[in-house]
Amino acid sequence: MAYTVLEAFVNEKIPDDFNYEHTNRKNGTTEVMDKQSIERWLSLNEKLSNILPLAIEIQSPKGSKCWHSYHKLEKIRNRIIHMKEEDRRPTGPEIPTLWHDLFKVEPPYLQAKEMIDYFVNKMQSQPRWHNEYSRRST
């Protein structure tokens, strides 16, 4: 759910009139993508590392602490959504499984919030909801 919230945030913050020039990997052609195409066809990685930073004119979070946290969140999300047999198989305590990792991971909402904070703290106009909830203790 935290991963989905992060994607919803990014999609919301891309300006309606934003266009992105993108090279198609399959045929090498350059295409211009509007907001709707970006939301539908580009990965969250691409949106976080390139699209939103371009749209709001800030530096990409790639390589930052929040980027590392985001990748941990993405890894857990992918292991849940695309669960493999090794994650369903009973094991002993010496072999960490998805379930072990899921309960030992930093709370997912904090990982998503860290990335949201990265962007919101650099925006000229911060959303009211962010100001309200950023004051609460986590």
Average pLDDT over residues 88-99: 72
Encode 95-125: b = buried (16+ Cβ within 10 Å), e = exposed.
Answer: eeeeeeeeeeeeebeebbbbbbebbbeeeee
CA distance 79 to 102: 10
| CB contact set of 35 (below 8 Å; sequence gap of 6+) | 14, 15, 16, 17, 18
**pLDDT band for position 125 (cuts 50, 70, 90):** confident
Q: How far is CA 130 from the centre of its chain?
A: 17
pTM score over 0.75: yes
Q: What is residue 24's predicted lDDT score, i.e. its pLDDT?
A: 81
What is the number of domains present in the chain?
A: 1
3-state secondary structure at position 82: coil
Query: pLDDT (tens digit, 9 = 90+) per residue, 48-91?
Result: 999 999 999 999 999 999 999 999 999 989 988 888 877 777 77
DSSP string spanning 115-137?
HHHHHHTT-SS--HHHHHHHTS-
Range of the domain at 88: 2-134
CA distance 7 to 26: 25
| CB contact set of 23 (below 8 Å; sequence gap of 6+) | 29, 30, 31
Q: Say what angle helices 108-120 and 65-81 make with each other, to 10 degrees.
A: 140
Query: pLDDT (tens digit, 9 = 90+) per residue, 1-13?
Result: 899 999 999 999 9
